[in-house]
Structure 1
Amino acid sequence: MWAFIDKVNALYPPGAVDFSIEEQRALYNDVCRVFYQGRPAGVSSWDEDHGGVPCRRYELCESDVTLIYLHGGGNVVGDLDSHDDVCAEICDRTGYRVIAVDYGLAPEVVYPGCFNDGWSAFTAVAEAFDGHLMLAGDSAGGTLAAAIVHHARRRVAGRIIGQILIYPSLGGDMTRGSFVRYANAPHLTTQDVIYFIDQRLGGAEPPKGDGCFAPLQDAEFSGLPPTVCISAQCDPLAGEGETYCDKLRAAGGRAEWINVPGMVHGCLRARGISPAAAGFFDTVVEAIDALGQGRWPYQ
């Protein structure tokens, strides 16, 4: 993991949020290319629009489960290519149809624009494909996946059978817990989180009690599908998954928080060089696979 941390830092140095948006995107794309794992043989993919939003579909075989994936990147960086190998491998290992969504990024698109893109894509996918739906996302993509699930619970009743959130940012209290304990963690600091939120808002004040912006600020946590939050221990966002799962269980739902020791934010990319990071990704895939089958393998 230290080799991974050092290699990422050499490509996307600490404090990169001080660079221009164009420089941040170029550096992030370099990181994605260096750690790209390729697509497994047999997985087909093509680009298509859903709800007017660019998307990429991955298929291995016929499936009655469609997983909608929202990529991370702080709502500032990332695209269909940045998580191409992640989505292709999830498709290969589960057999589920995967549709990645290229929602608009800040500062060009600010809230609620990114949510509107995600919601438009989700509703179009729900109309285009029969069967079960799941949502997954990492980091800022986890924020958006959870926001869509909250908004959809009374609009697409029974269709969503699970959500899998990978080191998500959910709008918790940034003055305590992991935000303090891991304020200066590798690859994402608490100050970085604040920067990305400000970019997402375009400098505006955060909305209050808006679950589409910050799922932890929603007033209602009942009626949500089975949820697995998988966090990296050394990450200011680690406690977000714990708080969120506690709220879902208190409201009578099924939720499991898995905090993986020794991992850092963005460790999905380390799975090719770190056995522990490969295990982290195994945990993600196993959760997706189980929820897609309607199984709950947790105590």
Structure 2
Amino acid sequence: MTSEPAIPVRRSRYADRLDVELWKYIDEVNSWYPPEIVAAPIAKQRAVYNRMCAAFHQARPEGVTTSDGLVATATHPIPVRHYRMAGNAAATVVYYHGGGFVLGDLDSHDDVCAEICAGTGFEVVSADYRLAPEHLHPASYDDALAVFEWVAATSTLPIVLCGESAGGNLAAAVAQATRRHERQAVGQMLIYPGLSSDETGRSYVEHAEAPLLSVSDIEFYRRIRSAPGQSQDDPTFSPIRDHDFSGLPPTIIVTAECDPLSSDGETYRDRILAAGGHAWWREEPRLVHSFLRARMTVPRAAEAFRRIVADISALGRGKWPY
């Protein structure tokens, strides 16, 4: 199912910059989840988003098994989904899904988690953290941290933190909070993460109206997540605003060239390196935000996803890829 993009100016600016296959993906996303949906009630946004995720969902690779469970906290249970392959895994990936802190659940990114499991042989634990606006910051962060602590307490395997978009923000915040934990993560993979609250960076200006994610979209999701009086300098809200980037695990950040968030990855890498850590940033050319969902039909996205899976595998085995 395809349609004409809802915002023609975005198409005209990027008409020759993006591959034909990627435009087909963008059109299909817009046919399911048009940009104007952000003005709809949250319940409708979620219903439409869930239908889109179901339409793009791929069957789990052969050999991947799953089980759902709950992580108990003092106030509420957090749903998780555990992915496994036969044999002894070398590491556990704790995965935080995207969706602007408003959308997504265990099903929305189920196939991505299953393919990471199959591609690495690692166990994957996907966290269904609480969403805004019903649960404002720090609810999603608290849940993300609780799932990490649960995995650390119940498994002896090395832990790799992984998240995409909003989930990349959570993975980074958890890595910063647990850098001195006795079970500190051995690595973190951040996929087009939103780490900042400063929109003066290169990509925020150059790609303010990029297809599938604009600066106005980012502002909407930030506002809806914020509690009254929310400080933009809170590193659990904006990890890039932390004042200490030392002691973090080896970090790989992968961004899309045509995405306002791309500069966050570059800045985060530079701050880790300046603090004496190990970090790598890769900007995938001629791709847009959410390209993981395009991996089955867009060659560039498929190649980028293969590199991401290989990087996760390397981090989990303590073999830095670069």
TM-score for the superposition, normalised by structure 1: 0.96
**Partner residue, 2:282:** 258
Matched, 1:31 2:55: no
Residue 209 of structure 1 aligns to a residue whose secondary structure is: coil
Q: Residue in 1 aligned with 2:36?
A: 15
Asked if 1:231 is matched to 2:255, the reply is yes
Q: Find the residue that maps to 2:163 and give its secondary structure.
A: strand
**AA aligned opposite 1:185:** A
Cα RMSD, aligned residues only: 1.1
Structure 1 window deviating more from structure 2 (103-112 vs 172-181): it is: 172-181
Cα distance between partner residues in 2 of 1:27 and 1:181 = 29
Percent of residue pairs identical: 46
Pick from 208, 219, 223: which aligns with 1:183? 208
Partner of 2:187: 162
Question: Given the superposition, is the C-alpha separation of residues 243 and 172 from structure 1 closer, same or farther in structure 2, using an over 3 Å criterion?
Answer: farther
1:248 corresponds to: 272
Deviation of 1:172 (Å): 4.5
Residue 238 of structure 2 corresponds to residue 217 of structure 1: no
Match of 1:3 in 2: 24
Structure 2 equivalent of residue 95 of structure 1:
121
1:290 and 1:195 mapped to 2: Cα distance? 36
My pick for the range that moved more, 80-89 or 164-173, is 164-173
Q: Gaps (5+ residues) in structure 1?
A: none
Q: What is the number of equivalent residue pairs in this alignment?
A: 296
Q: Report the CA distance between 1:121 and its aligned residue.
A: 1.2
Of residues 207-216 and 97-106 in structure 1, the stretch that sits farther from structure 2 once superposed is 207-216
- Could you tell me how far apart the structure 2 residues matched to 1:208 and 1:269 are? 30
**Contact 1:168/1:231, CA 8 A, preserved across alignment:** yes
Counterpart CA distance in 2 for 1:294 and 1:185 is: 36
Asked whether the 8 Å contact 2:90–2:316 carries over to 1, the reply is no
> Which ranges of structure 2 fall in alignment gaps of 5 or more residues?
1-21
Amino acid at match of 1:96: F
| Contact 2:254–2:283 (Cα < 8 Å) also in 1 | yes
* Structure 1 Cα separation of the partners of residues 105 and 142 of structure 2: 17
Separation (CA, whole Å) in 2 of partners of 1:205 and 1:146: 22
CA distance in 1, matches of 2:26, 2:81: 29
CA distances 1:227-280 after superposition (whole Å, capped 9, x unpaired): 000001111101110000000001011100000011111110001111111011
Larger CA deviation: 204-213 vs 123-132? 204-213
Name the residue aligned to 1:41: 62
Asked if 2 retains the 8 angstrom alpha-carbon contact of 1:50 and 1:125, the reply is no
Q: Any idea what SS the aligned residue of 1:15 has?
A: helix
CA contact (8 A) 1:271 1:277 kept: yes
Shift of 1:158: 5.2
Q: Give the alignment of 1:272-287 within 5 angstroms.
A: 272-287=296-311
Q: Which digits, 9 at most, give the CA deviation of each residue in 1:66-123, with x for residues without a partner?
A: 1100000000000000000000000001000000000000011110111111111111
- Greater Rg by CA: 2
Equivalent residue of 2:295, what SS? helix
Question: Counterparts of 1:138 and 1:103 in 2: how far apart (Å)?
Answer: 14
Question: What's the CA shift for 1:286?
Answer: 1.0
Query: Which residue of 150, 153, 157 corresponds with 1:131?
Result: 157
Distance 2:229 2:256 in 1: 29
TM-score (ref. length: structure 2):
0.90
CA distance in 2 between partners of 1:157 and 1:237 (Å): 32
Residues 172/247 of structure 1: CA separation in 2 closer, same or farther (3 Å cut): farther
Aligned 1:58-69 pairs, distance under 5 A: 58-61=83-86, 62-69=88-95
Amino acid at match of 1:231: T
CA deviation profile, 1:271-296 (whole Å, cap 9, x unmatched): 11111110111121011011111111
Aligned counterpart, 2:130: 104
Q: CA deviation at 1:208?
A: 4.4
Alpha-carbon distance change, 208 to 2 in structure 1, aligned in 2, over 3 angstroms: closer
Q: Does 1:122 align with 2:148?
A: yes
Give the distance between the partners of 2:35 and 2:271, measured in 1 at CA: 33
Residues 201 and 263 in structure 2, CA contact (< 8 A), matched pair in contact too: no
Q: Distance in 2 between matches of 1:282 and 1:246?
A: 24
Matched, 1:198 2:223: yes
Is the contact between residue 131 and residue 159 of structure 1 (CA under 8 Å) also seen in structure 2? Answer: no
